[in-house]
Amino acid sequence: MKRSQINKLILILTTVLLISCQSEKPEVNVYSGRHYQVDEDLFRKFTRETGIEVNLVKANTDQLINRLEMEGANSPADLIITADAGHMILCLDKDLLQPMKMEKIAPIVPSQYRDAMNHWTGFTKRARVIVYSKERVTPDELSTYENLVTPEWNKRVLVRSSQNPYNQTLMASILAANGSDGAKNWAQGIVNNMAQPPTGNDRDQVKAIAAGVGDVAIVNTYYMGLLLNSSNPEEQNVARQMGIFFPNQTDRGTHINISGIGITRHAPNKENAQKLIEFLLSEDSQTALANENYEYPVNSFVEWPPLLQEWGTFKPDTIPLYQLGKHLTPATIVFNEVGWK
């Protein structure tokens, strides 16, 4: 027997053993690619309020998707949580999800942040914005994502790797808006204007601005919240040197991504999974996610906390995120063609 077959057999046997050892206590099993304290706090609150125990497995999202595929019908997972829409779309493409009940969800979550066939929903939003040095850049110099490829930004743009799902979904949105040629020209222009090869996460791009490596960066808003509220005074100081600009306000709007959640295809505790989704979309949970992780609430009835209000209102891109699925593979091809590492 091949080693890969042995490993798969071990995983299946381990999963079966876990299932056989489960207690009679009501539970819901969550595979999560998010790693935030507020999530775990909410899971504990859910257990206190419902008596349903949340069993959490945290890992890299790609690893969790691979695990779901290997476990198949024997998977103990009831829910999968991803930090971006692209991975939710991938889960659906791999037939790893089943529809959820939408009676309580559809009225509060705008349709562009949900799957058209109800297989997943967003439960937080992130705006992908332009962060800039207040010392070296003025807001009137900024306008759109597309404008960052002009000569005035030569060697001034910072952005993370093309392997990052936030950039892949952004590229998919640019493909949808500008077509293949427009997207390729944009990607090539960004590569030409990079202040340094892509390295690190969004916070590292902001720190590179403060260090004078570049002047602007493409960043998710919540990273700015994390920096401003960091326990490290140096990170707070970095964030205070930055401004936030919402691009494309005169045309399609700023790109929005989501953290997503879906019920797995073989969920053994489907009803409990549905309850947890609805709990995470409640006004109290959405307020906690916004206050503690600086993400925009996906529940349209929840007021933004003071910091998010301070950043200002903005026009979001309203293209349904599920429609970006067909552009994700072409986005990767574009990145490779222009040498965006």
Are 46 and 120 in the same domain? yes
Cα dist from 23 to 249, 263, 338, whole Å: 53, 21, 53
Q: pLDDT tens digit string along 134-169?
A: 999 999 999 999 999 999 999 999 999 999 999 999
Residue 325: partners with Cβ closer than 8 Å, 6 or more residues away: 86, 89, 92, 93, 172
Are 240 and 250 in the same domain? yes
Could you tell me the CATH number of the domain that includes residue 150? 3.40.190.10
Are 250 and 334 in the same domain? yes
Model confidence, pTM: 0.89
> At residue 79, what are phi and psi to the nearest 5 degrees?
-135, 145
Are 332 and 196 in the same domain? yes
Are 302 and 329 in the same domain? no
> At residue 54, what are phi and psi to the nearest 5 degrees?
-100, 115
> Among 315, 299, 148, which residue's Cα sits nearest to residue 216?
148
Q: What is the number of structural domains in the chain?
A: 2
- Say which amino acid occupies 258: I
Are 204 and 331 in the same domain? yes
Q: pLDDT tens digit string along 33-55?
A: 999 999 999 999 999 999 999 99
Are 146 and 250 in the same domain? yes
Are 145 and 223 in the same domain? yes
The pLDDT mean for the chain works out to 94
Tell me, yes or no, whether 33 lies in a domain.
Answer: yes
Q: pLDDT tens digit string along 223-272?
A: 999 999 999 999 999 999 999 999 999 999 999 999 999 999 999 999 99
Are 118 and 133 in the same domain? no
Are 186 and 273 in the same domain? no
Tell me, yes or no, whether 236 lies in a domain.
Answer: yes
Are 212 and 74 in the same domain? no
| DSSP per position, 67-124 | HHHHHGGG----EEEESSHHHHHHHHHTT-EE----TTTTTTS-GGGB-TTSS-EEEE
Tell me, yes or no, whether 68 lies in a domain.
Answer: yes
**Which residue range is the domain that position 50 belongs to?**
3-125+258-312
